[in-house]
Structure 1
């Protein structure tokens, strides 16, 4: 059954609204919620591309708003190493089918979320630049394929014992760089086409994101980051399962 265009646009607006709101509250959420939702509605290539662009704009706004709490020293090695994962991710997109990409997106997202939730307490304490560079490369790879750098960086932040006060703020410039790199490399390599995305999709996505930023900014002081983070992860698990099932169904049928 074909989904009406208006229903798709409403779905895009709602997904980006929810994701942007939670990102302002919990530090991440736009990629976790919007990436699987838009991958189902638009396909894994176009859906993740839209999320990459919106995540860049959203992270830029959040970086400015939270700039005093950002730890730029911790950001530097991660931000610089994101490209190490972005480039191979872009070439992989060109080499696999849409169904295989959906399966890959779903598996990567669920695996990362499993580590963040079930295995988080078992992550050992780590120090030094090498783990930060590794986290950046993995985050860049996942962001290019699945639109989600957050889980990989969260695992590293927990292992490196980042203070909770600067965690959410320092994630924002990381998302800004990863989103921009993913989009630019995809365009440069032909892995995705910005111009092929209908204008209505951009209008719905930007509108939902802007509304989410405004609401999130108002709600953030009233909701604990832990509760917002838990909700974002729960929605992301649902989204990851949906994308995985769709990819498997497309490959089998």
Structure 2
């Protein structure tokens, strides 16, 4: 299957917006790309392409945020996410996509809502178990729906993670999860990415650089409070779009 020119150009345009959000908030790339790519090129191919493109933006961002990365948190969340990917990969390959999207999105919305309620309590919720569960949620989300941001947002809210450190630490995590997610989908679902011309990949890389540049310019105007609220809104939006995608897939619309 070869993707036509309008679809390829539309994807490149989405990459610009997604890269800008990634630079501003640390998340947003996969949450913006995945629901639309699933509609454009199918569930498995959309998730695989999301994982592949999601590797580039954070990889380019890592040198910019290196000093703010919290490696101790990453050392628990990252391995937990990677270890559960094969199980979720098998589940994704063996199950209808529609119901899976609905289940994942519903759990994310519930988790986000509960985290906002719990965050009003003065006690922070953090520790090894919390980070491990966060990794499981992020790894499962990447495989099943192409997004791990909502799980990380829940953890950020519960632990009151500093926005700058949150944004920085997520970049190497996304690189790890993108590679792990792509290889897992490739193993269990096969290569379902449609054929793209060479200029699509060059255009996607250029679009990431343009989006990151724009995000860097705008970032100085946005406060930490506004960035935190944006992250939460993006997480709800990503979950909502995944829910709609699941309903569409289930009903065959």
Band the TM-score falls in, shorter-chain normalisation: 0.7 to 0.9
Distance 1:234 1:203, change over 3 A: farther
Task: Give the superposition deviation at 1:179.
Answer: 1.1
* Cα deviation code 1:165-190 (max 9, x no counterpart): 31211111111111111112222x23
* Equivalent in the alignment of 1:197: 194
The answer to whether 1:135 aligns with 2:134 is yes
Residues 38 and 44, structure 2, Cα contact 8 Å, conserved in 1: yes
* Equivalent in the alignment of 2:83: 84
Deviates further, 208-217 or 138-147: 208-217
Could you list the runs of 5+ residues in structure 2 that have no partner in the other structure? none
Residues 116 and 157, structure 2, Cα contact 8 Å, conserved in 1: no
* Equivalent in the alignment of 2:92: 93
Task: Give the superposition deviation at 1:34.
Answer: 1.0
The answer to whether 1:221 aligns with 2:220 is yes
Distance 1:119 1:240, change over 3 A: same
Residues 25 and 230, structure 2, Cα contact 8 Å, conserved in 1: no
* Equivalent in the alignment of 2:173: 174
The answer to whether 1:10 aligns with 2:9 is yes
Distance 1:160 1:118, change over 3 A: closer
Tell me the distance in 1 between the aligned counterparts of 2:202 and 2:45: 15
Tell me the distance in 2 between the aligned counterparts of 1:166 and 1:120: 18
Tell me how large the CA RMSD over aligned residues is: 2.8
Distance 1:229 1:198, change over 3 A: farther
Task: Give the superposition deviation at 1:63.
Answer: 1.5
* Equivalent in the alignment of 1:150: 149
Distance 1:7 1:81, change over 3 A: same
Distance 1:210 1:240, change over 3 A: same
* Equivalent in the alignment of 1:34: 33
Task: Give the superposition deviation at 1:111.
Answer: 4.3
With the length of structure 2 as denominator, give the TM-score of the two structures: 0.83
